[in-house]
């Protein structure tokens, strides 16, 4: 879903996984994913049915203008041969923050995988999730594309899952060379 569309479930509705082989939801532009509803108890269940081989559930947030919120997120795969994957793709301003009541990484056979594309971002800390309660301690795997960074789960302190982006050494070297060239040019003029 792209642009300014809205996907909404009201009054405590539940956006449940399907028994299809693959389910994918991608949001970009100024799209809205509103699963809170009147009761603020709506939960997105990325977990698959027990015994259904190879289920794959992917959720992608592209850019920094998406509004995404849910009363809870069951971010795990029920069986070891199933996959739950959450992707964040940055734009020049950062990421859209997924606001959830309970971020549940502890159910099923394994927590969801997290993939974060930091292309075009400078050094800094960016929020991926804000939550009220965190269940579990970490994603199953974390992949950072087009740069380097570290994930902080914020448990007990900030109530956010964030990434601190660290410039690649080649980027630092480029800035270092540019700075050295500028200093030499300044010295020559004196």
> pLDDT (tens digit, 9 = 90+) per residue, 134-178?
999 999 999 999 999 999 999 766 799 999 999 776 544 444 555
Question: What's the rounded mean pLDDT across residues 6-20?
Answer: 52
**Nearest residue to 100 via CA among 134, 70, 76, 78:** 70
Mean pLDDT in residue range 111-133 = 95
pLDDT in tens, 18-32: 555 777 888 898 888
Three-state SS for 145?
A: strand
Residues 138-150 as b or e (16 or more Cβ within 10 Å = b): ebbeeebeebebe
Taking the C-alpha atoms of residue 167 and residue 46, their distance in angstroms, rounded to an integer, is 32
Q: By the 8 A CB rule, do 61 and 90 touch?
A: no
Q: What percent of the chain has pLDDT over 70?
A: 73
């Amino acid at each position: 879903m792209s642009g300014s569309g809205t996907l909404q479930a009201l009054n405590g509705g539940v956006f449940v996984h399907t028994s299809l082989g693959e389910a994918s939801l991608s949001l970009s532009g100024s799209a809205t994913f509103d699963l809170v509803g009147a009761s603020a108890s709506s939960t997105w269940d990325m977990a698959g049915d027990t015994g259904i081989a190879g289920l794959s559930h992917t959720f992608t947030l592209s850019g920094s203008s998406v509004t995404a919120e849910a009363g809870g997120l069951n971010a795990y795969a029920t069986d070891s041969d199933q996959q739950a994957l959450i992707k964040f793709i940055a734009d020049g301003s950062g990421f859209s923050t997924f606001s959830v009541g309970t971020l549940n990484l502890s159910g099923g056979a394994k927590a969801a995988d997290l993939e974060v594309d930091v292309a075009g971002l400078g050094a800094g800390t960016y929020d991926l999730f804000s939550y009220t309660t965190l269940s579990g301690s970490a994603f199953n795997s974390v992949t950072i594309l087009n740069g380097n960074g570290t994930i902080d789960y914020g448990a007990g302190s900030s109530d956010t899952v964030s990434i601190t982006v660290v410039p690649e050494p080649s980027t630092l070297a480029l800035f270092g060379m540019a700075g050295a060239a500028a200093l030499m040019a300044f010295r020559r003029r004196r």
